[in-house]
Amino acid sequence: MKFWQERPAILQGGTCKMSKELVFGHQSPDTDAITAAIAYSYYQNQLGYETEPVALGEPNDETRYALDHFNMKAPRVVKTVANEVDKVMLVDHNEPQQSAPDIDKVTVTHVVDHHRIANFNTAQPLYYTARPYGCVSTILTEMFQQKHIDIPANLAGMMLSAIISDTLLLKSPTTTDHDREAVKYLAKVANVDYEEYGLAMLKAGTNIAKRSDMDIVEGDAKSFTLGGKSVRIGQVNTVDLDDVFARQADLEKTMHSEMDKNNYDLFILIVTNILNSDSDLLVTGEPTDVVEKAFGKKLSDQHRMNLPGVVSRKKQVVPPLTDAFEG
């Protein structure tokens, strides 16, 4: 076959045909991971790429509430990606241990993220957009605006939901003016009262009684390598800490079995009260003295530590732990 016969689109004056890419967020996806994949895929398709948003897990209760509210479909769930495509775009993460298990077998062409960059290497140059905002959906809102691409109302509702989720209704210390501006803009496009809707959405994600021990422990967990140790950090939102700690023994059992199965050294569950913005840590494994050093506090006999005003894993838990492990 001759060169030109392989590329009919060029001869017809159309756009050059590119192979499809998958767009996805981190494992144990939260509302931002799911929404950013949908939004970034839509954005790239408007610019002529062929992409599909997918997810590395099922949406959680909060995300489901948002998808239902705005009449959107959850992205297809995939376990691996190299069996389908050669190229991928990452949103809401970059660390390989939070990504698809076969991420090393594909080329990452684009990243849009708001986390620390760690253990991330590529063989090829790429588009990498990192901004220290409260949410990827805020970065994407600005990217849509810069390219003058309209955000459909239901997608705007999802992006609004993601910002509310990541910033706990703009109360987390990760919140920036960019997030506040994006919320105002998206609420107008989606035509919702964001405070009323946002609290209802956050509460929909806190139905502890309905959730299994595994789901509470692992539902939002992420892995970090800190000072050579494998550290697993989960987070669960609640409107009453007692709803979670009434099940502490069972939760610890689940944390221990996950540690054994996956060779984690340390497992920390952050239990966050979304109404008063406080958290209690539940800590299993070792080294616990490093956790105490990180927060300048002793763990209770119950393996717990109360941290008033702490709601952000990314900004208030991982950095002090990193300092304590590596400092």
Residue ranges binding Mn ion (CB under 5 A): 30, 32-33, 92, 136, 166
Amino acid at 155: L
Given a contact cutoff of 8 angstroms between Cβ atoms, the answer to whether 59 and 24 are in contact is: no
Contacts of residue 191, Cβ cutoff 8 Å, sequence gap at least 6 = 153
Question: Closest distance between Mn ion and the C-beta of residue 218, in Å?
Answer: 15
CB of 4 to Mn ion, least distance (A): 45
Query: What does the alpha-carbon distance between residue 64 and residue 201 come to, in Å, rounded to a whole number?
Result: 9
Q: How far is the CB of 310 from Mn ion (least distance, A)?
A: 17
Q: How far is the CB of 163 from Mn ion (least distance, A)?
A: 9
Identity of the residue numbered 150: D
To Mn ion, the closest distance from the beta carbon of 206 in angstroms equals 17
In terms of DSSP bridges, do strands 304-307 and 278-285 run parallel, antiparallel, or are they unpaired? Answer: antiparallel
Looking at beta carbons only, is 30 or 179 nearer to Mn ion? Answer: 30
Shorter beta-carbon distance to Mn ion: residue 33 or 324 = 33
Q: Which is nearer to Mn ion, 173 or 227 (CB)?
A: 173
Find the helix packing angle between 194-204 and 177-190, rounded to 10°: 100
Q: Which is nearer to Mn ion, 56 or 290 (CB)?
A: 56
Element (H, E) at 121: none
Nearer to Mn ion, 56 or 208 (CB): 56
DSSP 60: -
Shortest Cβ 35–Mn ion spacing (Å): 9
Closer of 157 and 285 to Mn ion (Cβ): 157
Q: Toward Mn ion, which CB reaches closer, 32 or 258?
A: 32
d(CA 241, CA 151): 37
Residue nearest to Mn ion (CB): 32
94 or 284: CB nearest Mn ion: 94
Rounded to the nearest whole angstrom, what is the least distance from the CB of residue 243 to Mn ion in the complex?
Answer: 23
Minimum CB separation of residue 327 from Mn ion in Å reads 26
262: CB partners within 8 A, 6+ apart: 230, 232
Alpha-carbon gap, residue 33 to 90, rounded angstroms: 9
Strand segments (E) across the chain: 21-24, 51-55, 76-77, 87-91, 107-113, 127-130, 222-226, 229-238, 266-273, 278-285, 304-307
Residues 172, 166 contacting (CB under 8 angstroms)? yes
DSSP letter assigned to residue 82: T
Annotate 263-290 with DSSP letters as a single string: T-SEEEEEEEETTTTEEEEEEEES-HHH
Q: Which is nearer to Mn ion, 138 or 284 (CB)?
A: 138
Q: Record the tokens describing residue 245, joined without a space.
A: 């700690």
Q: How far is the CB of 32 from Mn ion (least distance, A)?
A: 3
